[in-house]
Amino acid sequence: LDTLGTAIYFNGIAANGTLQFFEAEEETNGSFRVRQLSEGGFDRVNQLPSQNPSALTTYLVYATRDGSSPLGGGWISYLDVDNPGEEVQVTPVRPGFAGFRWIRGTSQFLTTIADGPNQGQVLLVNAETHEQRVLTNDPGIKFDPYGWFAPEFGGNLAFHATTDLTDLTIYRDTGGEFFEPVATLPPPAATDLRYVQSAEPFVSKGGRSLISLTLKDDPGSVYSDVSDSQIWI
């Protein structure tokens, strides 16, 4: 979603057999114009598009599988769909550190730094200006950070992140160099499922911040390791 309207972004198999990005835009006659965005000799996957109705373009944040990072894998990267060949690398892909989410209504996303002195901390990336800012400096790996504008904090930016695979920590902007952790939410006592996945914030019509999430019985994959799970708000 941008000033030009809406589009669909998906993975497709390119002529060389790699997974690349394709764009589908609806024509006035109801058909779709499809074009291949990315190309190269390695896969690009898990693409998430920005949703900023005031932006002149859309950005994709995603993971690569090129083996060129310092950790031997790929990169969390982003690109402008109008200039898909100009790929910007942000941080290596690392198990337990991965995760990236757009702040809805902006061209900014949050991710977790995978290496270096700030590893495990949350990074704010502005895809339009390429500016980056480290938002946290407390102990622990902040997995899958997700930001929103919280009515409870005057409409300022807040975010949550999963810590130790089992808890959600809430952070808010208090005007300092780093965001302040204001609450840590463990799984409720009413369930024996302890591991968090896909926690996503939203604001209700009544102006209240809520988080939807999956609780599961194993920290691993829902496709191969998990035998029981529940959806909570």
Q: Given this model, what pLDDT does residue 95 score?
A: 86
Phi/psi of residue 136, nearest 5 degrees: -130, 160
Place of tokens 């024509």: 27
Count CB neighbours of 147 within 10 A.
Answer: 25
Q: Given this model, what pLDDT does residue 96 score?
A: 82
Place of tokens 């209504």: 105
Cα distance between residue 163 and residue 155, in whole Å: 24
Sheet of 43-49: strand order equals: 43-49, 59-65, 75-80, 83-92
Q: Given this model, what pLDDT does residue 126 score?
A: 98
- The residues near 67 (Cβ < 8 Å, ≥ 6 apart) are 42, 73, 74
Query: Does residue 177 surpass a pLDDT of 90?
Result: yes
pLDDT above 90 covers a percentage of the chain that reads 92
Q: Could you tell me which of 68, 64, 72, 28 has the C-alpha nearest to residue 44?
A: 64
- Asked if 201 and 213 touch (Cβ cutoff 8 Å), the reply is no
Average pLDDT over every residue of 25-41:
93
Q: Given this model, what pLDDT does residue 79 score?
A: 98
> Mean pLDDT for the chain?
95
Q: Which is more confidently placed, 222 or 211?
A: 211
Query: Does residue 10 surpass a pLDDT of 90?
Result: yes
SS3 196: strand
* Tens-place pLDDT, residues 205-215: 999 999 999 99
Q: What region, left, alpha or beta, does residue 128 occupy, with left being phi > 0 and alpha being psi -120 to 50 degrees?
A: alpha
- The residues near 17 (Cβ < 8 Å, ≥ 6 apart) are none
Cα distance between residue 161 and residue 107, in whole Å: 19
Cα distance between residue 9 and residue 21, in whole Å: 7
Counting Cα atoms < 13 Å in the Cβ hemisphere of 98 gives: 17
* Tens-place pLDDT, residues 57-92: 999 999 999 999 999 999 999 999 999 999 999 999
* Tens-place pLDDT, residues 130-147: 999 999 999 999 999 999
- The residues near 96 (Cβ < 8 Å, ≥ 6 apart) are 141, 143
Average pLDDT over every residue of 32-54:
96
pTM, 2 dp: 0.94
Query: Does residue 98 surpass a pLDDT of 80?
Result: no
Cα distance between residue 113 and residue 163, in whole Å: 14
Count CB neighbours of 26 within 10 A.
Answer: 13
Q: How does residue 30 score in pLDDT terms, banded at 50, 70 and 90?
A: confident
- Asked if 150 and 156 touch (Cβ cutoff 8 Å), the reply is yes
Cα distance between residue 132 and residue 89, in whole Å: 12
Q: How does residue 16 score in pLDDT terms, banded at 50, 70 and 90?
A: very high
Average pLDDT over every residue of 145-159:
97
Q: Could you tell me which of 215, 184, 196, 193 has the C-alpha nearest to residue 99?
A: 196
Query: Does residue 224 surpass a pLDDT of 90?
Result: yes
Q: Given this model, what pLDDT does residue 212 score?
A: 97
Q: Given this model, what pLDDT does residue 28 score?
A: 87
